[in-house]
Structure 1
Amino acid sequence: MLCQGRPVRSLLSLLGTLLLGAATAASPAGAAEVSSAQVRGPRWAPAARATITPGVQMMTAGAQCTANFVFTDTRHRVYVGYAAHCAGLGEATETDGCETGSLPLGTRVDFVRGASLLEDGTALGRGRLVYSSWLAMQELGVEDPDACAANDFALVRVSRADRRKVNPSVPVFGGPVGLAEPPAQGEAVLSYGQSRLRPGTVLSPRRGVSLGPSYGGWGSDAYTLAPGVPGDSGSGFLDAQGRAFGTLSTLALTPLPAANGLGSLARELAFARQHSGLRKLRLVRGTEPFTG
């Protein structure tokens, strides 16, 4: 797992286990997305002034992860996605979402900027954990080993007071312009992570190449010039067309050293739509054009 902070873990221990985000049911890519202009409820902050966006740091009881994308539902509530293991209670090697403990729904999550090993960072806003694939699978009694090992997606509902600080655009790259399945091997991928182990933002935007789908299409792997590190967990991945396709879960040692293990967002989102209780949960497209 790639969250950073709770419990205290060495970097080497965090790199020891593969986990690819996945789910147990799929919907066609693009079926769970909405244009930012079509969302009548939320009013997005201008991208240049927004403080809660994809790539923002998220703190959960001391553990730091990175936001992937923005989502909404029929009640126009605003959600930010990150990895389910960001609220997990297990050690780095405890990656079975059907067995590993998690903080409960309702747990407070803070959005911060500039957090590092030496600084807590600046508070930007807060939210509450409202969906965890790990908790959902445990409640459902899921026994599919691929899903248990791989479905790693959670949603934090932004507080009403902080909703107007949100913009769904990905920093640097713009978009997302839609939803897609994981790209084929050799295709370009883009990501934006904000680990507190990586000072500054120079290495936050990352470019790389897809290693192709894995886990029967429920996940994928990718190499990036700056591999993900603890704290980057949950960060979103875009394909060469600016479509959201993945969420960062782990960094592998074997069989693909330093490869980023990604969950298939289309399938994670499909599972969440079925089991979160959030009606017509969907990805929100960015207000800024994709320029990656």
Structure 2
Amino acid sequence: MAFRRPVVAALASATLATAAVAVAGMPAEAAKKSAGTATVAYAPASTAKIHPGTMMYTDGAQCTANFVYTDSAANTYVGYAAHCAGTGAATSTDGCDTGSLPLGTKVDFVDNGSLVSSGTTVGTGTLVYSSWLTMQKDGTTDPDTCAYNDLALVKVDPQYVSTVNPSIPFWGGPTGINTTGTAAGDDVFSYGNSSLRAGIELLKPKQGASLGDDGNGWSHTVYTVTPGIPGDSGSAFLDKDGKALGVLSTVAIAPLAGSNGVGDLAKELAFAQQHSGISGLALVNGTEPFSPLL
């Protein structure tokens, strides 16, 4: 579900029990957070260059940022799907046996990328965690974890941290982390930023419904208007209360055509907290209140 940056007008397809999960609170518009003894000041949502929904390019493949994360040293991370750095086929979605670019790979944060333009780079970062690489290193064999654990973290380069805001565009939030899953019919909200949409703002926010949980809670099947498409990979999903539900991972062709698979963030983040080596890893709440307008 990642897309490659256009080269000579061509766009090729690229690879497509929960522990306690920490959340760093953010006071509205003060955009300040303490982590350990360090303090980070984030940009106001209205002027931030890097935020959930920002385009992220990895070796030419375009995905969408989901949430902002921090650690005990006050570093700033932006998440997307692990498959956004994948080197396998678009149908290779098992993280325990599909190749990936290595940790240390550079990632660009980009504004206004499209089929005809490479957009404007607004920041840079480094891939520092991949659930795929971690599962392969650790020898993970649980089939649900292998199939649905699809989260990667990009550490924002220091000179761009002051341009970051953790709020979801249009919707606001997140207001915490959903740790209870979804039932059929539950409302979900997302914000995709595929280059295939040619920058049309009205097509980026999406509202829909969950069909319930899959993979022993590791995934949620959802329908949204419009559906997530390649390039939206990695984008954030919120539940009806504005809590972080998950990360867009797959587009289904069958048996539920047009549905999306959303990896459960509570499980993915708990796995990262246990295996990434990043001390104090936590989700950062948005500075803007959750407002389901549609």
Q: TM-score, normalised by structure 2?
A: 0.91
Unaligned runs of 5+ in 1: 15-24
Change (3 A) 1:275 1:238: same
Amino acid paired to 1:26: T
Determine the C-alpha separation between the residues in 2 that align with 1:61 and 1:49.
27
- Contact preservation (8 Å) 1:98, 1:134: yes
Q: Could you tell me which residue of structure 1 aligns to residue 133 of structure 2? A: 135
Match of 2:75 among 74, 77, 82: 77
Determine the C-alpha separation between the residues in 2 that align with 1:95 and 1:216.
17
Q: Could you tell me which residue of structure 2 aligns to residue 34 of structure 1? A: 24
Determine the C-alpha separation between the residues in 1 that align with 2:258 and 2:5.
22
Match of 2:51 among 41, 44, 53: 53
Query: Which residues in structure 2 correspond to 1:264-279 (within 5 Å)?
Result: 264-279=264-279
Identity of matched residues, %? 55
Determine the C-alpha separation between the residues in 2 that align with 1:47 and 1:234.
20
Change (3 A) 1:65 1:244: same
Determine the C-alpha separation between the residues in 1 that align with 2:184 and 2:92.
29
Q: Does 1:187 align with 2:186?
A: yes
- Contact preservation (8 Å) 2:103, 2:128: yes
Aligned residues: 278
Determine the C-alpha separation between the residues in 2 that align with 1:39 and 1:69.
15
Query: Following TM superposition, by how much is the alpha carbon of 1:6 offset from its aligned partner in structure 2, in angstroms?
Result: 7.7
Determine the C-alpha separation between the residues in 2 that align with 1:208 and 1:256.
15
Amino acid paired to 1:133: S
Determine the C-alpha separation between the residues in 2 that align with 1:59 and 1:9.
14
* Other structure's SS at 1:98 match: coil
**Taking CA–CA contacts closer than 8 Å with sequence separation of 6 or more, which of the two structures ends up with the larger relative contact order?**
1
Q: Does 1:253 align with 2:243?
A: no
Query: Following TM superposition, by how much is the alpha carbon of 1:211 offset from its aligned partner in structure 2, in angstroms?
Result: 0.7
Query: Following TM superposition, by how much is the alpha carbon of 1:258 offset from its aligned partner in structure 2, in angstroms?
Result: 0.8
Determine the C-alpha separation between the residues in 1 that align with 2:33 and 2:280.
12
- Contact preservation (8 Å) 2:207, 2:225: yes
Determine the C-alpha separation between the residues in 2 that align with 1:216 and 1:9.
33
Q: Could you tell me which residue of structure 2 aligns to residue 289 of structure 1? A: 289
* Other structure's SS at 1:129 match: strand
Determine the C-alpha separation between the residues in 2 that align with 1:27 and 1:183.
18
Amino acid paired to 1:183: T
* Other structure's SS at 2:125 match: strand
- Contact preservation (8 Å) 2:2, 2:13: no
- Contact preservation (8 Å) 2:191, 2:205: yes
Q: Could you tell me which residue of structure 2 aligns to residue 94 of structure 1? A: 92
* Other structure's SS at 1:277 match: coil
Query: Following TM superposition, by how much is the alpha carbon of 1:217 offset from its aligned partner in structure 2, in angstroms?
Result: 0.7
Residues 16-68 of structure 1 show CA distances to partners (whole Å, capped at 9, x for unaligned) of xxxxxxxxx5224xx31110247222101011000100000000000000000
Determine the C-alpha separation between the residues in 2 that align with 1:10 and 1:65.
12
* Other structure's SS at 2:289 match: coil
* Other structure's SS at 1:39 match: strand
Structure 1 segments (4+ residues) deviating >3 Å: 6-11
Residues 231-273 of structure 1 show CA distances to partners (whole Å, capped at 9, x for unaligned) of 0000000011110011000111122111110000000000000
Amino acid paired to 1:39: K
Determine the C-alpha separation between the residues in 2 that align with 1:255 and 1:235.
23
- Contact preservation (8 Å) 2:95, 2:146: yes
Unaligned runs of 5+ in 2: none
Query: Which residues in structure 2 correspond to 1:233-248 (within 5 Å)?
Result: 233-248=233-248
Query: Following TM superposition, by how much is the alpha carbon of 1:9 offset from its aligned partner in structure 2, in angstroms?
Result: 4.1
Q: TM-score, normalised by structure 1?
A: 0.92
Amino acid paired to 2:24: V
> Please, what is the CA RMSD of the aligned residues?
1.7
